[in-house]
Chains A and B, each alone.
Chain A
Amino acid sequence: MLTFTPSGIYCPPGGFYIDPWKPVEKAVITHAHSDHARWGSNHYLCHPDTAPLLHLRLGPVDVQSLDWGEQLDINGVRVSLHPAGHIIGSSQVRVEHKGEVWVVSGDYKVVPDGISGPFEPVSCHHFITESTFGLPIYQWEDQEIIYQQIRQWVLDNQAAGYSSVLLAYSLGKAQRVISCLAPLQQPIYAHGAIANVQETLIQAGWNLTPVARVPVEPNRNQLKGSIVVAPPSADGSSWLKKFGPVKVAVCSGWMQVRGNARRRNVDAGFVLSDHADWNGLKTAVKATGASAVYVTHGFQAAFSRYLTEQGIEAQEIQTDYGTEEQE
């Protein structure tokens, strides 16, 4: 019922695409990250929490929203959305036609992060899964342990006279990092890209910690020892100079491997991911009960071979999703 086309995942009976990477007439969107929600389509369908983010990123586009669990009929195909636990609003797309069920999971993680909604396993015949961290070397620690490490790092930096800069992708990771830092009860300065997302979400009714905008001309030492959340692209920028001497950390699942962390040339790396780890991927695939699995972006060759050896028929699919910067 779903096919993989040069424009993206397509549903012929429904006449719509899911996360297309080329402009199409109707696009169902799993979440608002730029590799999944691309510019140029005529109509978008997504979760209500994704809608304001889509507007923030794509401008005034035509967006219809659909709540989790609510059903919509598109040309005889029954479409519903289910929480994917990846970022705010992120959803799996379930499509049903003549008794056959497919689920497109987009990006997901199975362990709740307290913000993004708890991942819901959805039974299906065909499951399309990501594999960003589809190797057994990627096994995450509990979020609370990582959060404590981050807060301790910030306090140690302050004691030594440094500001702490946490590099996190502006949509998703940044909200988690900010909520991790909120208990410190200090102003959290955010780069414009992150402040925009945070304000959009707060206006949309989310109970998130507001961030402080950076004064245009701060007094000397005013920002010394402060807490800063910035997108990875801000690393090494002159914008960071305002904060005096800084220590910089990257928050990403890629920090699991020492070499990746060293390559980033930062002072610390915290293993905090918005994607399922190895065990998460395995659990998710099993829970669907799917008899056919399609593995997209990441370690798709390894994960699909592993699943096949475990008796779950799987194949790898080339897509345009996923870049390392976004995690």
Chain B
Amino acid sequence: MRLFAELVQQLGSSTKTNDKLAALLRYFETAPEADTIWVIALFTGRRPKRTVSSTYLREWCIEQTGLPAWLFEESYHTVGDLAETIALLLPPPTNESSHSLQAYLEALQALSDQEVEAKKTFVLQAWDELNREERFVFNKLITGGFRIGVSQQLLVQALAKLVQLEQSQVAYLISGQWDPRQTSLQQLLDSSFAATDFSKPYPFYLCYPIEGVLAELGNPADWQAEWKWDGIRGQLIKRNGELFVWSRGEELITEKFPEYQGLLEALPDGLVLDGEILPFMEGKPMPFALLQTRIGRKNITKKQLEAAPIHFFAYDLLEWEGTDWRDQPLEQRRSKLEALVAQVQHPKLLLSPMVIFNTWEELAELRSRSREFVAEGIMLKKKDSVYQVGRKRGDWWKWKTDPMTIDAVLIYAQKGHGRRSNLYTDYTFAVRKEDKLLAFTKAYSGLTDKELLEVDAFVKRNALEKFGPVRTVPAELVFEIAFEGIAASSRHKSGVALRFPRILRWRKDKTVQDINTLEDLQQLLQQFGNDKAD
């Protein structure tokens, strides 16, 4: 555990990519192989099932420290991370005798069908034999989410260096469904072993936001344009008589969309499609808010199936008759895809249409009308481009439409997480409704570090009450809030739900008298919010 704790510490504190890469490599070279496979799993989001709830962790820590529960919560809100809060609060260990990462992970898994008392005994014993850094990672193994500043790309880079393989190959090998308990490092990095996993997706090729002017892209005829849909990017796979659906976040979500099961019959075997998972009705896509009602549900009701009928908007064809087509030029992949969709003729499988344009001016004009098509902008792909791995500049670009904006006033603030620990950085904003203020959205991003410090100082100086995570502040600071979409919502007091709200700028030139009103939001809703979200 010590080596792993050191690795996490180094990755969290180093500011340069090369240092992180070196730390990963050093770890892979020195750590036991059984630990390495777990690190790959953890850093690619393959967290084992949670066997101890965080409520218990809180309770046991409060018991061990003898602190009042409210003080534990105050500490937690200041640190912004439960695992770290507990590591900081616990008394020093009485015996330092830590075991391997694998041993802790397997012991945690073995707890799944145990009584609470057995879980407690194990956790308390672990706390008592681990130092502060180790306790932090141990708690993280339980609470999950190793967001510690190492990207999947960096991990791939380190592994590629370690085993002397191409990065794209490594990215492919470590994707998909594999269980760190049943896979050795050697198996994981062996392509013939990979071939036995029929569900294995290809790493997604992602678009960069466009930079500079369009004319620099050269001849418009060399480019293919498509709408950028606001759904879930996904891969639809049929191999060995089975259907698999993967999200971009590398989650296997086949069960969530029973609509697709009809495609099992219709599609040929040895096929991988890249596309967008999207609700679609009466000839047009529906807003993301509707899709959201389908995510995270275990059981889907008939009503939900009818309210948000999910389709697959195919962008690309990656595998055909069991052969990897990613090295073929886009133009050829596209024409094969078009032929396939026409031949399959299944109501759930749609071809994401091309946006036809002759000049860059024409395309700019079309982009400005994206919202009419329920799209969030345009994607531009070079016709001769191969299907690469990850976010790469050059061949594929996204060109989002300008966001909608509303001036609003800050009314509540909460302390942030991660590098925003102990700073009031999570805000709730209000618009005017007659002579009152009405909360309508939260926003967490968009301010510079300097501005955050300024708002934080304002909150700390002016907070109207003292306990609990949320501070009410006098309605004085005005911000311009940008968002990508708007939908009606009965779950929000304001009656609207925004898509990807963030702070565009701090309007120090404006006072609370100048902010927008609920009517302004409702007008936007009428203009652009085509369907009711729930």
Report yes or no: B149 in contact with A262, Cβ–Cβ below 8 A.
yes
Q: Is B331 an interface residue (CB 8 A)?
A: no
Residues of A within 8 A of B419 (CB): 259-260, 262-263
Q: Does B68 lie within 8 Å of A262, measured CB to CB?
A: no
A267 and B421 contact, Cβ closer than 8 Å, known pairs A135-B78, A137-B79, A306-B68: no
**Are B467 and A301 in contact (CB-based, < 8 A)?**
yes
| Separation of A35 and B149 alpha carbons in the complex (Å) | 36
Contact B74 A135 (CB under 8 A): yes
Fill in one digit per residue for B83-115: 1 if any A CB lies within 8 Å of its CB, else 0: 011001100000000000000000000000000
Minimum distance in angstroms from B421 CB to a CB of chain A:
3
CB distance from A309 to the nearest CB of B (A): 6
Docked Cα-Cα span, A266 to B14, in Å, equals 7
Q: Is the Cβ of A268 less than 8 Å from the Cβ of B420?
A: no
CB distance from B418 to the nearest CB of A (A): 5
Does residue B67 face the partner (Cβ distance < 8 Å to A)?
yes
Contact A267 B15 (CB under 8 A): yes
Q: How many residues of A contact B (CB 8 A)?
A: 25
Return the contact of A268 from the options B13, B74, B80 (Cβ within 8 A): B13
Please determine whether B421 and A257 come into contact, CB atoms closer than 8 angstroms: yes
> Which B residue sits closest to A269, measured CB to CB?
B13
Does B12 lie within 8 Å of A257, measured CB to CB?
no
- Determine which of A138, A260, A301, A306 lies in contact with B421 in the assembled complex, contact meaning CB atoms within 8 Å: A260
Residue B449, interface by CB 8 Å: yes
- Does the CB pair A262–B74 fall under 8 Å? no
Once A137-B89, A258-B421, A260-B421 are accepted as A-B contacts, the answer to whether A302 and B13 lie under 8 Å apart by CB is no
Contact: B12 with A309, CB < 8 Å? Answer: no
Residue of B nearest to A138 (CB): B88
Establish whether residues B81 and A259, one from each chain, have CB atoms under 8 Å apart when the complex forms.
yes
In this assembly, does A59 line the interface, its C-beta being within 8 Å of a C-beta of chain B? no
Asked if A263 and B68 make an inter-chain contact with CB atoms under 8 angstroms apart, the answer reads no
Pick from A137, A138, A301, A305 the residue with the most CB of B within 10 Å.
A137
Q: Check B466 against A267 for contact (C-beta < 8 Å).
A: no
Contacts of A302 in B (CB 8 A): 71, 74
Is B388 interfacial (CB-CB < 8 Å)? no
Measured CA separation A305–B74 after assembly (Å):
11
B460-496 at interface with A (beta carbon < 8 Å) = 466-467
Nearest residue (CB) in B for A261 is: B13
Inter-chain CA distance A136–B420, complex, in Å, is 19
CB 8 Å contact bits of B48-85 with A (1 = contact, 0 = none): 00000000000000000101101100110011110011
B421 touching A137, Cβ below 8 Å: no
Query: A258-284 interface mask toward B, CB cutoff 8 Å, 1 = contact, 0 = none?
Result: 111111011111000000000000000
Binding site for A on B (CB under 8 A): 12-15, 65, 67-68, 70-71, 74-75, 78-81, 84-85, 88-89, 136, 149, 416-423, 449, 466-467
Interface residues in chain A, defined as those with a beta carbon under 8 Å from any beta carbon in chain B: 135-139, 254, 256-263, 265-269, 299, 301-302, 305-306, 309
Some 10 contacts from A to B, beta carbons below 8 A apart, are A135-B74, A136-B71, A136-B75, A137-B85, A258-B12, A259-B422, A263-B421, A266-B15, A269-B13, A306-B71
